[in-house]
């Protein structure tokens, strides 16, 4: 019962926060696919009937607003056939001096994340990148990758919180502390 109340409370808090805090010039890019383009097989999940490489995409960002002390990144599928979508990846406490993540920075047991950065649990139930793997026959899903420029050096998050809770807490904390956000969306669908 406590988990249901906590989940409901975080969902309500998250829904009351703004979804975007735009700042002029703040940009996010993925060199392997353009905004609105198809996500390549290297980033697709490698289980559940999907046969991709499951490598997190390389990301770069620029022109964050003055006062940025850290960054957070989320990858979310709002089209997933669940009540709340599907969280694929969350990274937080990326130092302010960083302006990108290399490909596969979200691998299990990676050393490619910046020192001090952490990953929250995805809806897959693990604390690393899980790529797209929508149901067969669905129209292409939209995978939203969002960067948050934060006014705090660290978010008070616990990567041991399971599944949706970690992602919901990260989003709520990131939006509450965001100076700006930028987003790109990749598409992926599995034909019949």
Specify burial of residue 13 (Cβ count, 10 A radius: 0-12, 13-18, 19+): middle
**Could you give the CA distance from residue 182 to residue 26 in angstroms, rounded to a whole number?**
6
**Could you give the CA distance from residue 142 to residue 127 in angstroms, rounded to a whole number?**
21
Q: Give yes or no for a contact between 176 and 18, defined as CB atoms under 8 angstroms apart.
A: no
Picking from 25, 127, 6, the residue whose alpha carbon sits closest to that of residue 68 is 25
The answer on pLDDT for 18 being more than 80 is no
**Could you give the CA distance from residue 172 to residue 148 in angstroms, rounded to a whole number?**
11
Mean of all residue pLDDT scores within the chain: 86
End-to-end CA distance of the chain: give it in Å, rounded: 39
In the structure, what pLDDT confidence band is assigned to residue 120 with cuts at 50, 70 and 90?
confident
Percentage of the residues of the chain whose pLDDT score is greater than 90: 67
How many domains is the chain built from?
1
Domain of 128 in residue numbering reads as 2-188
**Could you give the CA distance from residue 34 to residue 188 in angstroms, rounded to a whole number?**
13
Q: pTM for this structure?
A: 0.86
Phi and psi at residue 107, in whole multiples of 5°? -70, 155
The answer on pLDDT for 14 being more than 50 is no
Specify burial of residue 121 (Cβ count, 10 A radius: 0-12, 13-18, 19+): buried
Q: What is the CATH number of the domain that holds 167?
A: 3.90.280.10
Summarised one tens digit per residue, pLDDT across range 20-39 is 666 678 999 999 999 999 99
Number of separate helices (H) and strands (E) present in the chain: 2, 8
């Amino acid at each position: 019962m406590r988990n249901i109340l906590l989940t409901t409370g975080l969902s309500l808090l998250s829904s009351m926060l703004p979804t975007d805090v735009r700042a002029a010039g703040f940009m996010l890019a993925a060199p392997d696919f353009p905004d609105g383009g198809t996500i390549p097989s290297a980033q697709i999940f490698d289980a559940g009937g999907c046969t991709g490489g499951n490598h997190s995409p390389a990301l770069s960002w620029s022109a964050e607003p003055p006062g940025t002390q850290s960054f957070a990144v989320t990858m979310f599928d709002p089209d997933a056939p669940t009540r709340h979508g599907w969280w694929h990846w969350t990274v937080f406490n990326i130092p302010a001096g960083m302006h990108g993540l290399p490909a596969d920075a979200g691998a299990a047991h990676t050393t490619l994340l910046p020192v001090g950065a952490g990953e929250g649990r995805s809806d897959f139930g693990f604390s690393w990148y899980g790529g797209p793997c929508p149901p067969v026959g669905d129209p292409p899903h939209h995978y939203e990758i969002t960067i948050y420029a934060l006014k705090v050096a660290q978010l008070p998050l616990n990567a041991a919180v399971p599944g949706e809770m970690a992602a919901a807490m990260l989003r709520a904390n990131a939006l509450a502390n965001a100076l700006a956000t930028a987003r790109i969306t990749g598409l992926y669908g599995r034909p019949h």
